[in-house]
Amino acid sequence: MNPAVLMKIMSAKNTFTANHPKFAAFLSAVFRNGIEEGTIIEITVQKPGQEALTSNLKVQQSDLDLLQSLQELAR
C-alpha cells in the first residue's frame, strides 16, 4: 500500500477515535474476544428530525470467512 495513503488513513482513524472515544472503546471491547457465529449485531441510525431506522444481522460462518479474508488482505 502507498505510504502516503496509509498515513492519511491512520490520521483519519486517530481523528475518529479522538472525536468518538466511547465508540472506539466499545468496538475494542466487542472485538477483544472476537465475534463468533450466531452473534447478533444490531445498528440504529437516527437522523435529526427523523425516526430511527434499526436493522440487525445474525453472524454466519460465511461472514467470518469474509472478515478473515479482508484481514489477510490488509497485511
pLDDT tens by residue, 37-69: 999 999 999 999 999 999 999 999 999 999 889
Residues 40 and 69 in one domain: yes
Residues 39 and 14 in one domain: no
List the domain range (segments joined by +) for residue 48. 35-75
Residues 29 and 42 in one domain: no
Residues 28 and 41 in one domain: no
Q: How many domains does the chain contain in total?
A: 2
Contacts with 38 (C-beta within 8 Å, 6 or more apart), sequence order: 58, 59
Higher pLDDT, 3 or 52: 52
Residues 55 and 74 in one domain: yes
Residues 27 and 40 in one domain: no
Residues 29 and 40 in one domain: no
Q: Establish how many alpha carbons lie within 13 A of residue 30's alpha carbon, considering only the half-sphere containing its beta carbon.
A: 11
pTM (2 decimals)? 0.69
